[in-house]
Structure 1
Amino acid sequence: MTIRNWIKFFFSTLVVGGVVTGILGFIIRWDEFSNWFYDMDFSQIIPAFIWLVGVGFTFSVISQMGFFAYLTIHQFGVSFFRSSSLWNSVQLVIIALVLFDLIYFRFQKFAAAGESLVSYVLLAIGLLGYGVIVALIKSRQSKSNTFVSALFFMIVVTVLEWLPVLTTNEKSWLYLMLFTLLACNTYQLLMLPKYNQRQG
């Protein structure tokens, strides 16, 4: 990829993060912002939207750091294990461990007395389901077998990027950051080949 295309890729991903957070921020945190919309108080709405977009830019940068870190780790994994099938098996094991940790440790740390495990399981299942869909699209887009690698990125790397709010468990931020990371990670995973193919 040329420097020019990398810059375009960086800023387009930045826009994805900003727009997604700017829009979803009002939806997810509607209880906080609804009165401004009912009153058509644009003196409050516009600054809040700009602030949310700025937060989205931050999430996007975290996503891009994770993406390029994964590209490095993936190349290292393929070289170290000397077999794509063995590397895929290792990635599947790590995916399973991360999903288990996402359920078990969050439940142990944040569950209230008598709270059901169901919501924690559903969150992990939702992340897995979305990851599978994106990985299937990626594998159809690519001539090589990229399903497991794409799934690893969408689940393991997303969870690692998500840690700053996972450790606080504030629900509005939990979902806002997750949806933004998923949007940015999906965009990067599916659009990188197109930017690589561009001339100049």
Structure 2
Amino acid sequence: MSIKKWFYLFWTTLLIGAAGAVIAGLALQAVNGKIDFKSTADFLLYPLILLGYGMLVSVYSQLGFFAYLILNYMGIGVFPRKVWQYIQLVLAVLALLELVFLRSVVGGERNVTSDLFLGILILLSAIVVTYFKVRSTNFSAWIPTFFFMTAITIVETIGVLRIGVDSATVFIIVPLIACNAFQILMLHRVLKPQAA
């Protein structure tokens, strides 16, 4: 990957994260019914804060993405390719089970409904992104894409899950899923060699 391609991926992901945070922030304000700006400065400052937060989430997402690429490279080097795919699939299922059941049922940390909803949201987004990735590339991309969209996304949300506030979870999960989906769907396009 050249610097120019990485630069393109970095800035476009930054914009995706900013847009996702603005959408999530304004939607949360509308759902909570607390859109009461006291002045014009508040009205202008709130979207700027959302943009900045979305950019921070996108950088966090990019760190997770490059960490996954390194992990995948090492996994392919250590294990046979078929074994590494099964390991990723098992880890993705375990991450979903941990999010949905183990935290709520075994640990008793939170109520089951919000964790179940979050797990279903992550699972559905992973299935949709995996479908489009396989359609754009080939069938062998489905396990790595599914693993990245489930296990890595869940690992990236651990910090906000410990807070235990549903609105904070929504506020980070929307731009995070958008950034992760964009990066994994764009990877083969960015790495495609240019025609001479």
**Ranges in structure 2 where 5+ consecutive residues have no aligned partner:** none
Contact 2:103 2:109 in 1 (8 A): yes
Contact 2:22 2:51 in 1 (8 A): yes
Contact 2:114 2:166 in 1 (8 A): no
Take 2:11 and 2:118, find their aligned partners in 1: how far apart are those partners? 30
Alignment equivalent of 1:133, drawn from 128, 135, 143: 128
TM-score of the aligned structures, taking structure 2 as reference length? 0.89
Name the aligned partner's letter for residue 26 of structure 1. Answer: L
| Secondary structure in 1 matching 2:140 | coil
Contact 1:158 1:185 in 2 (8 A): yes
TM-score of the aligned structures, taking structure 1 as reference length? 0.88
Match of 2:85?
Answer: 88
Pairs within 5 Å for 1:1-200: 1-30=1-30, 31=32, 33-36=34-37, 41-82=39-80, 84-107=81-104, 108-111=107-110, 117-143=112-138, 145-197=140-192, 199=194
Q: Which contiguous aligned blocks of 4+ residues in structure 1 show a shift greater than 6 angstroms?
A: none
Matched residue count: 192
Name the aligned partner's letter for residue 133 of structure 1. Answer: V
Contact 1:131 1:154 in 2 (8 A): yes
Take 2:77 and 2:123, find their aligned partners in 1: how far apart are those partners? 27
Take 1:193 and 1:178, find their aligned partners in 2: how far apart are those partners? 24
**Ranges in structure 1 where 5+ consecutive residues have no aligned partner:** none
RMSD of aligned C-alpha atoms?
2.0
Contact 2:88 2:147 in 1 (8 A): yes
Contact 1:17 1:56 in 2 (8 A): yes
Name the aligned partner's letter for residue 36 of structure 2. Answer: N
Counting aligned pairs with the same residue, the percent is: 29
